[in-house]
Amino acid sequence: MNSNVIFETIGDVLLWSTAVVFENVGNLFNNAVIVLGFIGLFYWLNLQRKFNKEAENNPDQIK
């Protein structure tokens, strides 16, 4: 038994475990990131609209 057998066994176990995880997750993570990105975008745009309206109503601001 040499080190090549040990490293190949470790590699096979890692390859099998990552394949199991990726097959079960599928595109769920990608879709979740896209949805959260759009939620964050709409939240940020809503805050920006509120700040712009506040700035229009405040004549004492520095421009």
pLDDT for position 7? 92
What is the widest separation between alpha-carbon atoms in the chain?
Answer: 81
Q: Which domain holds residue 39?
A: 3-56
Q: What is the total count of domains within the chain?
A: 1
Q: Is residue 63 part of a domain?
A: no
Q: Is residue 48 part of a domain?
A: yes
Q: Is residue 62 part of a domain?
A: no
Angle at 38 between CA 32 and CA 44, to 5 degrees: 135
Q: 12-62, pLDDT tens digit by residue?
A: 999 998 888 888 887 888 899 999 999 999 999 999 999 999 888 888 877
Instruction: Show the tokens assigned to 10.
Output: 């470790």
Q: Is residue 26 part of a domain?
A: yes
Does residue 63 have a pLDDT over 80? Answer: no
Which of residues 3 and 25 earns the better pLDDT score?
Answer: 3
3-state secondary structure 34-52: HHHHHHHHHHHHHHHHHHH
Q: Is residue 32 part of a domain?
A: yes
Q: Is residue 10 part of a domain?
A: yes
Q: Is residue 19 part of a domain?
A: yes
Per the CB < 8 A criterion, the answer to whether 56 and 50 are in contact is no
CA 53 distance to own-chain centroid: 31
